[in-house]
Amino acid sequence: MSYNDGWSAINLEMPERVPRTEFSVERHWELIHRVTGVVANENSPAKLQQAAKIALFKAWNFDFLWSTATHSEIFGNTRTKMGHATYLEGGVDFDNDVSSAFANYEAVLAFDPTEAFYAPSVSNLSRNYSAHYAANCTSYPDAVNMTGIYVSCISGVLELFGWELLLEALGADPAGFGECIKRYGRFIRPYFEGLANSDAPLIMVHDDLTWTSGPFASPAWYREFVFPTLKDCISPLIESGKKVAFTCDGNFSMFTDDIANLGVNGFVMEPTTNMAYIAEKYGKTHFFIGNADTRILAYGSKDDIENEVRRCMDIGKKCSGFFMAVGNHIPANTPVENVLWYNECYEKMSKR
């Protein structure tokens, strides 16, 4: 792992090699065995799983380790259970429990999280975020670490309401649901203040604003309600001098400029987002991470995989802040030989 190369890219200083990270590959146990010799699986003790993960990250020289500390647990039982499809090896993460804490969309429109949830002090939040960052640094001392928040805005209200009630409320009363977004912003902003006062120099802000096909609502609605809420929340991070990375799944191409206008320093993207546009407009001012397609690793030939790495490198390599990654994760069902070949292609093309 290379702390120096990772920070050089974040600071737009053009490291000699293109740095990289990956997502979910630390749960691909067969791959880890092939790369490191460590034998572990989903049933292994946590200590062994962690050792396997560290060994893989060192073997593949990861420079940046994505991490957030605040998730939907802050809502307690007042949230929607949407179930979970099989993703991890052996299907251990499958969950068909679907239920909601909200009776109808009217309840969604009336909900105020500042009244429903306990609000921790900014000082306590700051201590917790600093501890999370310190623990990451202890586990992975040779890479760029961070802390951050997963439920920034849309991802937060989605965890609360679920897709069905969210879309019903949005469709029935767009302005009313916009006011719900504003109330959520007032509730979540102290968490951003805690991040701003933490020891971490890099903060990850995650918010899944879009689907694979793009926005799920009118762009004008996002610009009236969502982006002003996010800008207000993120402002303490900008004022504190933190480096801020913004992760959004799906296709956020339509909103690239809106996200940049939040003041963030970097973009983390999936392959459906137009990375060429980001490189062209923001390649000298922002770092960015992505955006190889996991479907090509899963189903493509060696030529397909090599061409996908070359596509990303052709776009990003000329930009000092580019990190290589498979943007939509490397799950455990990806053929091992394909992942090994992907890594070989990356290493071959990573030198500038």
**256-268 pLDDT per residue, tens:** 999 999 999 999 9
DSSP letter, residue 77 = T
Say how far residue 245 (Cα) sits from the centre of its chain: 9
112, 102, 84: which is closest to 161 by C-alpha? 102
Residue 111's pLDDT band, with cuts at 50, 70 and 90, is very high
- Is the pLDDT at 199 greater than 50, yes or no? yes
Structure tokens at 169: 């409320």
Within a 10 A sphere around the Cβ of 264, how many other Cβ atoms?
A: 21
Cα 181 to Cα 25, 30, 192, distances in angstroms: 34, 43, 16
127-142: per-residue pLDDT in tens?
999 999 999 999 999 9
Q: Is the peptide bond before 145 cis (omega within 30 degrees of 0)?
A: no
Structure tokens at 149: 């928040």
Of 10-24, 67-81, 128-142, the least confident = 67-81
DSSP string, 213-239: TEESS-HHHIIIIIHHHHHHHHHHHHH
pTM of the model: 0.95
33-57: per-residue pLDDT in tens?
999 999 999 999 999 999 999 999 9
Q: Quote the pLDDT of residue 80.
A: 75
Residue 56's SS3 state is helix
Instruction: Express the helix, strand and coil content of the chain in percent, nearest 5 each.
Output: 50, 15, 35
Domains within the chain, CATH numbers bracketed: 65-349 (3.20.20.210)
